[in-house]
Amino acid sequence: PVAKPGMVAAAVLPSCPGRIRYFKV
| 13 interacts with other proteins by CB under 8 A | yes
Q: How far is the CB of 13 from other proteins (least distance, A)?
A: 7
Q: What angle do CA 12, 9, 5 make, to 5 degrees?
A: 170
| 4 interacts with other proteins by CB under 8 A | no
| 10 interacts with other proteins by CB under 8 A | no
| 24 interacts with other proteins by CB under 8 A | yes
| 7 interacts with other proteins by CB under 8 A | no
Q: How far is residue 9 from each of residues 15, 16, 21, measured CA to CA in Å?
A: 18, 20, 33
